[in-house]
């Protein structure tokens, strides 16, 4: 189809008049259904973590544990919630540059930085939660060594899976960036 045929087809279409507000809502990043789902998940998780914090003292015998483990548990939950908010913030603002290529490059940089933050905060939070629950355990006998080994194994597996997941995400974005670089140089 040549350009003139395409123009005449476009002109022959009957388009409704769309208000500026409707157009702004259509292009607004905050209105995207995936972001609404992420926001809903963030709210549900935050309510769950806050409920956990409200109940842990009595439910998990927080009063029997040393004060610093209680503080570390609260810090761990705070790390998880900040991690989730940072992820939402990065996802919510993908356009950050004067053109598409610059935005993609900036997004890739932010994703690389965030992946390191994500892995470290998740592992640190899980380690603090494990520490809280083990803080009153009696470490006598071979059974305790298996418990510690199991928790260390969980941490190592978590690091591996998180690193693999983030590497895949970054690789996909890097491939898209390279495709745009090739198209831009042509």
**Which backbone phi and psi does 19 adopt, to 5 degrees?**
-75, 160
Residue 4: pLDDT over 80: no
Residue 46: pLDDT over 80: yes
Is 2 part of a structural domain of the chain? Answer: no
Which position has the token pair 């292009």?
27
Count other C-beta atoms under 10 Å from residue 19's C-beta: 9
Q: How confident is the model over 159-186, as a mean pLDDT?
A: 84
Considering the entire predicted model, what is its pTM? 0.69
Q: How many domains does the chain have?
A: 1
Token pair, residue 1, equals 């189809």
Q: Which domain holds residue 32?
A: 18-185
pLDDT of residue 48: 92
Is 55 part of a structural domain of the chain? Answer: yes
Residue 68: pLDDT over 90: yes
* 154 CA to centre of own chain: 20
Is 7 part of a structural domain of the chain? Answer: no
Q: In a 3-state reduction of DSSP, which class is residue 145?
A: helix
Residue 184: pLDDT over 80: no
* pLDDT tens-digit series, residues 73-121: 999 999 989 888 888 888 777 667 777 778 888 888 888 998 998 899 9
pLDDT of residue 29: 54
Q: How confident is the model over 174-182, as a mean pLDDT?
A: 82
Is 36 part of a structural domain of the chain? Answer: yes
Q: Positive or negative, the Cα torsion across 16, 19, 22, 25?
A: positive
Is 13 part of a structural domain of the chain? Answer: no
Is 6 part of a structural domain of the chain? Answer: no
Average pLDDT, the chain: 81
Is 3 part of a structural domain of the chain? Answer: no
Burial of 169 (0-12, 13-18, 19+ CB in 10 A): middle
What is the four-CA torsion angle of 42, 44, 49, 53, rounded to 10 degrees?
130
Token pair, residue 64, equals 């029997």
Is the CB of residue 65 less than 8 Å from the CB of residue 132?
Answer: yes
Residue 164: pLDDT over 90: yes
Is the CB of residue 111 less than 8 Å from the CB of residue 169?
Answer: yes
Is 158 part of a structural domain of the chain? Answer: yes
């Amino acid at each position: 189809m040549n350009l003139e045929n395409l123009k005449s087809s476009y002109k022959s279409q009957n388009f409704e008049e769309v208000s500026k507000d409707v157009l702004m809502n259509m292009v607004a990043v905050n209105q995207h259904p995936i972001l609404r789902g992420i926001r809903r998940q963030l709210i549900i998780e935050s309510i769950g973590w806050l409920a956990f914090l409200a109940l842990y003292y009595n439910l998990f015998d927080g009063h029997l544990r040393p004060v610093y483990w209680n503080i570390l548990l609260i810090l761990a939950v705070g790390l998880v919630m900040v991690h989730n908010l940072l992820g939402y913030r990065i996802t919510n603002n993908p356009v950050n540059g004067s053109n598409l290529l610059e935005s993609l490059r900036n997004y890739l940089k932010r994703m690389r930085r965030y992946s390191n933050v994500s892995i470290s905060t998740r592992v640190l939070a899980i380690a603090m939660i494990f520490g809280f629950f083990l803080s009153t355990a009696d470490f006598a006998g071979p059974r305790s060594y298996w418990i510690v080994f199991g928790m260390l194994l969980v941490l190592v597996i978590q690091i591996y899976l998180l690193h693999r997941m983030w590497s895949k995400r970054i690789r996909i974005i890097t491939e898209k960036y390279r495709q745009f670089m090739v198209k831009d140089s042509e």
